[in-house]
Structures are given as C-alpha cells and as structure tokens.
Amino acid sequence: MKTILHKANERGHANHGWLDSYHSFSFAQYYNPEKMHFGALRVLNDDTVKAGYGFGQHPHDNMEIVSIPLHGDLAHKDSTGRDKIIRQNDVQIMSAGSGLTHSEMNANKDKEVKFLQIWVFPKQQDIEPRYEQKTFEPADRQNKIQTVVAPDDSSAVWINQDAWFSLGNLDKGSEATYNLKKEGDGVYLFVIEGEVTVDGQKLNKRDGLGITETQAVKISADSNAEVLFIEVPMLKAAF
C-alpha cells in the first residue's frame, strides 16, 4: 500500500465573502503542481455559501461533477431543464458531456449551505449532458460503507467513468473495510467529520489520503466519524 497525505490545513483557500472554499487540488487561483489530481479525480472543493448567494449560470463540458450537501439546501438549475433542490443526504451528479450551463445557489435565506463539489474526468468524451439525483438514508451507512455513485449499480447515481463514491458513518471504536472494485485503481479517502486511522496513519476532519497499490482499505474510527471514499482509475496523463 502506498499513501499520500493531504492535511486539511494545507489545502488551497479562497474566501470571496459570499463563498468560503477549500481546495484539495489545484483550482482557480490556487495552483500546486504536487496537487493537480489523483488519478481521474480532478477537483474536491469544500464550499460554504452564504444565505441567498451562490454560483450564477456558467458553462462546463466533459467533466463528471458531483455535489454532496453537508448542511443546508442547494438550488440547482441547468440547461437540460433541471430545476431541483439538493438537500443533506442527497447526492447529485451532472455529466457535462458535450456542454451545458448551470447555476447553484443557496436555497436558504437564513443559513449557510455547506457542500462538497467533486469533479472527475469522464470515460467518454462529448456524451449527451445528463443529470441524476438520489437520496441515501444515513441508516444504510451506519458502521458500514454505502455506495452512492457508481457506473454499474442502479441504487447509486450513474457516472461516466469507472469510478465509485461511497460514504460511511462510523461510531467511535468501530472498523470498516473498503474493498476496491477494480485492480489498479486508487482510492481517495476524505474525512468529512471526526478522526480515523488508516494503515497506522491518523487522519482528522477534512484530511485527505490518497491510497494506491492495495485491494482493500481498513479504517478504524478514533471518534464518531463520517468518511467519503472516491475510487478512481489512476490515469497517468498530466492534466
């Protein structure tokens, strides 16, 4: 097993007043040649948006864009005609494909919205743009791992890549094992809340750990914890 540690306090940071964003990988004005991507995983942004504000209409193409709300409600509109509210325990994916425009706004007038915005390089280029959203029950990931994004699982939202996203809510003292789906893949573990240990490496809230050259990842919860696993192909090209 090989690992690369990305500490929470070493992430890129941009505070625009209405938006407070932390970047696990190079994004916008934050550039770190050592943090361009992890395989097909290109962006992992930890965003907080003030009440009533958000991202106005803007374009994307040929990117798989996943939104995971952590607190509050996110209003999504796009040029496929979708007009939806994404809430905590929802997972949304947008396959930008040949191109679309969208906006994401805080749907609340009285509280912040916090969400993870994650970009993955697509498997196929220029597909017809598509959108999918599902709600996942927290009870189904209590002390176990729940798949929420997958190319081959109808209970998850579909992604145009051989990639899998999984969530786990772990009680202090519990353990869980993530078994990789494909040989040669890597998995990026992101600690949403709490403290965990992986292969002797202690991780705190918002730390990330890239893991390669293994078929399974065993995680121990040092406190009550919420974790995200992102399994992706380990693409060799520099983007």
Sequence letter at residue 221: A
Q: pTM of the entire structure?
A: 0.96
Domain boundary, last residue among 80, 100, 135: 135
CA-to-CA distance for 5 and 203, rounded, in angstroms? 9
Q: What is the pLDDT of residue 238?
A: 44
Q: What is the pLDDT of residue 89?
A: 97
CA-to-CA distance for 113 and 196, rounded, in angstroms? 25
Residue 100 lies in a domain: yes
Q: What is the pLDDT of residue 122?
A: 97
Q: What is the pLDDT of residue 236?
A: 66
37 and 94 housed in the same domain = yes
Phi and psi at 8, nearest 5°, equal: -60, -40
Residue 181 lies in a domain: yes
Which pair of structure tokens corresponds to residue 185? 């893949």
Supply the range of the domain harboring residue 116.
Answer: 12-135
Q: Which helix (H) or strand (E) holds 42?
A: strand 41-49
* Residue ranges in the chain modelled with pLDDT below 50: 238-239
128 and 153 housed in the same domain = no
- Nearest alpha carbon to residue 76 among 47, 54, 45: 54
- Nearest alpha carbon to residue 131 among 150, 166, 109, 159: 159
Alpha carbon separation from 19 to 8, 57, 100, 177 (Å, rounded): 18, 16, 23, 35
Q: What is the pLDDT of residue 83?
A: 87
Residue 6 lies in a domain: no
Based on the structure, what is the number of domains in the chain? 2
